[in-house]
Chains A and B, each alone.
Chain A
Amino acid sequence: QKEVEQDPGPLSVPEGAIVSLNCTYSNSAFQYFMWYRQYSRKGPELLMYTYSSGNKEDGRFTAQVDKSSKYISLFIRDSQPSDSATYLCAMSAVDSSYKLIFGSGTRLLVRP
């Protein structure tokens, strides 16, 4: 079993829809949770960073962490065609020197 599980998709939604992306994990030592967006042939771009449990909002993006369930989510409101990309969840722990453990990535397609 992988440390971090993420549905690879692809996920296809119409423009304006609310998108929900999720990851589950098994290592209870993870404390830092990130979402990256990666366009084709580009490096990942940090979207959201959350420490421990809770919610964080930034514009159209909301990140949620539920440590009790070992489950994290990224919500995208009013999705746009420009949001079409691969979304990677990543997490790390202090005792692993902050090495990032990535999910496999979810491909998102927002249809005009």
Chain B
Amino acid sequence: GAVVSQHPSRVICKSGTSVKIECRSLDFQATTMFWYRQFPKQSLMLMATSNEGSKATYEQGVEKDKFLINHASLTLSTLTVTSAHPEDSSFYICSARGGETGEETQYFGPGTRLLVL
């Protein structure tokens, strides 16, 4: 149990286009999901907290108009990188709170590698 999937796993796009990343909790309902960004050889940086049915909460320094988050159901959250630029290239990982160990833990998806040319 407690499986989280992400799609796509890799995406290459041209500068100026928008990219949508999906995060799904496959075997449990997640009222809260999180979106992280990770640079090479660094730890995870929390970008935003996504709550089902309400607006996302963004961390300081994260542009909410650049990174649009929608949590439309208890099993799906999406991150849209709008007007992507090369500096947005990174590894994006989502997590879902809950599952078999309860609300205190997070289960992570496999990540999405974004390359903006």
Binding site for B on A (CB under 8 A): 32, 34, 36, 41-46, 49, 51, 88, 92, 97-100, 102-105
Contacts and interface: CB of A to CB of B under 8 A. Distances in A.
A45 B2 CA distance: 11
A49 B110 CA distance: 20
B67 interface: no
Nearest to A31: B104
Interface residues of B, number: 25
B6 interface: yes
Contacts of B32: 97-98
Majority SS at the chain B contact face: strand
Nearest to A51: B104
B64 interface: no
Given A43-B6, A44-B93, A49-B101, A100 B43 contact: no
A43 B104 contact: no
